[in-house]
Amino acid sequence: MGSLPTERPLKVIIVGAGLGGCATALAMHHAGFEVVMFEKVGEFLRLGDSLGLGENALKLLDRWSPTLRARLVDIGNKSELMQIRRWHDGKVLARQPLMDMAGFIGHRGDYHRAFLNAVAEQGVPLHMGSEVVEYDDTMPSVTLKNGERHVADLIVAVDGIKSRARELVLGFDDHPKSSGYACFRAFFEAAHLRGDPLTAEFVERECVNIWIGRDKHLVQNTLRNGAEVNWILTHKDTADIQESWFQPGNMHEVRRLVEDCDPRIAAVVRKTDACLDWKICYRDPIPTWVSKNHRVVLVGDCCHPHLPTSAQGASQATESAAVLAQCLLLGGRENIPLATRVYEKIRFPRVRRAQTNGEDVRDRWHSALDKVRDGQEIERDSILIKNHVLYDYDAEADTKKRWPELSALVSEELRTGQITPLC
Ligand SMILES: Cc1cc2nc3c(=O)[nH]c(=O)nc-3n(C[C@H](O)[C@H](O)[C@H](O)COP(=O)(O)OP(=O)(O)OC[C@H]3O[C@@H](n4cnc5c(N)ncnc54)[C@H](O)[C@@H]3O)c2cc1C
């Protein structure tokens, strides 16, 4: 398929082994490249809670690993339908197939473990406890905290929302801004909810429920085949933003927020010991994902973070990995700048669609009850999650199809030195 010379495979360094980094490693390895990964933390913990994986990502992962898809599907929530409910009494306003909405919902840590296992099965070296402290996009190379320097043909930074590589690529530090919302979120073993008639229905079988209210919504679902329950309460929050995955939430505040909510889910929340407080930070789209010399390239949350309502963070990172690997194959070893620049051009509009889908659904939910007087029917279509439009997409096929046109355009940009900004 590709035009790379056969003597030495392209060497790719991947910085970061989150879900996006693992997907990138699988895509690059599948393309026949030599891959080395560096990860800052010494050991991965089971962090986060529910994460959606859509068919747009699963079809790619299935091509790159013989075992991963089955493991991911097994981890995912098995409910056929999810319910969208009215805040104060839980009346079901709409039902929607789960596979049209977020795809497979599972615990981020469980999915991450499956991704890491798939990477290990392919024999890709992953160096844990190896923080990259410096990038050089001329060689290109990375320098680790212990002083070691590693050179490759291409550096792919998949280093998350607090990316150091983004600064290098942009030439300035891109600060987060508040989205105006925060989430309180908790997950825990569900056994003690089974004995209470008020809460039992949320743990007896696998389920996904969403309560929509004015300027807030609460998502509840089971994890690990019903052994665990997860709830995420999104609410208005204009407090100072502190981007943290670990800040403890104030349970008094949470209980106050659900005082007027469906008593059944309010009881689940009351039976929760502790939660986390996530300020939902936002970043404006950035004008480039590729360094000046075209050999350090961003993938995943570091260049395209998503709101939780997008349910596409890991899936879009997987698509980005696929497009980058295809561009490198199509361009060949001598044309890495062409490949990285075509990559960002293909990815930017697609990612924006997934990002704005998340904003759109949040806004529709938070205003739905304003549009009708209480008690009146809400138009079902106005509150559905519309992610299914993202699932048919095949990132690899699209790259092959668009390569001739976009590579001609980018060749001209590289010749004149006038790279058009993404935004
Ligand atoms: C702790 C945590 C919890 C999350 N929880 C959820 C959730 O519950 N639901 C959801 O939908 N999404 C969640 N997300 C986001 C989701 O995981 C991402 O949208 C998706 O997986 C794509 O992320 P990524 O791989 O691009 O970045 P990340 O998942 O952030 O991974 C980046 C990796 O790069 C490593 N790294 C960073 N800097 C360096 C460096 N200088 N050198 C070496 N390594 C470095 C980090 O340690 C990390 O492992 C969470 C993310 C994190 C980090």
CA of 158 to the centre of ligand 1 (A): 8
* Model confidence pLDDT, tens digit, residues 115-152: 999 999 999 999 999 999 999 999 999 999 999 999 99
**Closest ligand 1 atom to 161 CA:** 30
Average pLDDT over residues 234-254: 84
Contacts for 126 with CB less than 8 Å, ≥ 6 apart: 17, 25, 37, 39, 116, 119, 120
Rounded to 5 degrees, φ, ψ at 203 are -130, -10
**Residues 233 and 308: beta-carbon distance below 8 Å:** no
pLDDT at 46 exceeding the cut of 90 = yes
pLDDT digits (tens, 9 = 90+) for 307-325: 888 889 999 999 999 999 9
Atom of ligand 1 lying closest to residue 133 CA: 41
| Mean pLDDT for the stretch of residues 209-214 | 94
Q: Which residues line ligand 1 (CB under 6 A)?
A: 15-21, 38-41, 47-51, 108, 131-132, 158-161, 164, 245, 300-301, 308, 313-314, 317
Residue 281: its H or E element: strand 276-282
* Mean pLDDT value of segment 285-296: 97
Buried b (16+ CB within 10 A) or exposed e, 240-258: ebeeeeeeebebeebeebb
Tell me the domain boundaries of the chain.
11-78+107-174+283-368+381-416, 177-282
| Summary mean pLDDT of the chain | 93
Please tell me the distance between residue 218's alpha carbon and the centre of ligand 1 in angstroms.
Answer: 23
Going by alpha carbons, the residue nearest to atom 6 of ligand 1 is 48
Task: Flag whether pLDDT at 366 surpasses 90.
Answer: no
Q: Is the pLDDT of residue 403 over 90?
A: yes
- At 49-72, the pLDDT tens digits run 999 999 999 999 999 999 999 999
pLDDT above 80: residue 24: yes
Architecture of domain 177-282: 2-Layer Sandwich (3.30)
- The predicted pLDDT at position 2 comes to 46
Q: Which residue has a Cα nearest atom 50 of ligand 1? A: 48
Q: Which atom of ligand 1 lies closest to the CA of 144?
A: 42
Q: Which fold has domain 11-78+107-174+283-368+381-416?
A: FAD/NAD(P)-binding domain (3.50.50)
DSSP letter at 309?
Answer: G
pLDDT of residue 238: 76
User: CA-to-CA distance for 71 and 111, rounded, in angstroms?
Assistant: 8
Burial tier of 81 (Cβ tally within 10 Å: 0-12, 13-18, 19+): middle
pLDDT band at 3 (very low <50, low <70, confident <90, very high): low
User: Ligand 1: which atom is nearest the Cα of residue 165?
Assistant: 41
Average pLDDT estimate for 22-32: 98
Mutate to test the pocket of ligand 1, among 19, 26, 134, 320 (most ligand atoms within 8 A of CB): 19
